[in-house]
A and B are shown apart, each in its own frame.
Chain A
Amino acid sequence: MTLIGLARTHSRVARRQKALWFTAIPLTAFATLLAAISPARPGTGGIEDLAFSGQIIAILTGIAYAAAFTDFFTASAELGMHELEASTPIPGGLLRTARVLGAFSVVIAPAVAVLLAMGLVQTISGHPWSLPGALAVTATVVAPAALIAMALSGVAGALLPAALGRIVAVLLWFFLIFSSSLLPLPTPNGTLFSVIGDAIVTGWFGADPMYPASGPLAFDGTPLGAAVSLVLQLVIVFALLLAGSWLAERTRKR
Chain B
Amino acid sequence: MFISIDHLGKDFRKKPAALDGVTLDVPQGMTGLLGSNGAGKTTLMRILCGIIRPSRGRVLIDGHDLADASTRRAVKKTIGYLPQDVEPYPNLTPLEFLDYVGVLKGIDNAAVRKQQARELIARVGLTDAQDRRIGGFSGGMRRRVGIAQALMGDPKLLIVDEPTAGLDPEERMRFRALLASLGRDRTVILSTHILDDVAQTCPYVFVLRDGRARYDGPTEGLIDAARGRTWLTAARTVPPPEHETVVNATTTGDGTQYRVITDTPPADATPADPNLEDGYMALALLKETP
Interface residues, chain A, CB within 8 Å of chain B? 1-2, 5-6, 9, 12-13, 16-17, 79-81, 83-90, 95
Contacts and interface: CB of A to CB of B under 8 A. Distances in A.
A89 B73 contact: yes
Among A16, A17, A80, A88, residue most surrounded by chain B Cβ atoms (within 10 Å): A88
A80 B83 contact: yes
B255 to A, nearest CB: 45
Interface of B: 46, 49-51, 73-74, 76-77, 79, 81-92, 96, 99-101, 103-106, 108, 110, 133, 149
Contacts, number: 79
A90 B104 CA distance: 6
Given A9-B92, A9-B96, A12-B96, A89 B106 contact: yes
Contacts of A88: 76, 101, 104-106
B96 to A, nearest CB: 7
Contact of A1 (B77, B92, B108): B108
Contacts of B110: 5
Contact of A81 (B87, B99, B105): B87
Given A9-B92, A12-B96, A87 B79 contact: yes
A152 B85 CA distance: 28
A80 B87 contact: yes
A84 B86 contact: yes
Contacts of A5: 100, 103, 110
B226 to A, nearest CB: 35
Contacts of A80: 83-87
Contacts of B106: 2, 88-90
A87 B73 contact: no
Contacts of A79: 86-90
22 contacts: A6-B104, A9-B89, A9-B96, A12-B92, A12-B96, A13-B92, A16-B91, A17-B91, A79-B87, A79-B88, A79-B90, A80-B83, A83-B46, A84-B82, A87-B50, A87-B51, A87-B76, A87-B79, A87-B81, A87-B83, A88-B104, A88-B106
Contacts of B81: 83-84, 87
Main secondary structure of the interface of A (DSSP, over half): helix
Contacts of B89: 9, 13, 79, 81
A244 to B, nearest CB: 19
Contacts of A6: 100, 103-104
Contacts of B96: 9, 12
B149 A84 contact: yes
B77 A89 contact: yes
A79 B73 CA distance: 24
B49 A87 contact: yes
A248 B68 CA distance: 27
B77 A81 contact: no
Contacts of A2: 103, 106, 108
B104 A81 contact: no
A9 B84 CA distance: 23
A80 B84 CA distance: 8
A20 to B, nearest CB: 11
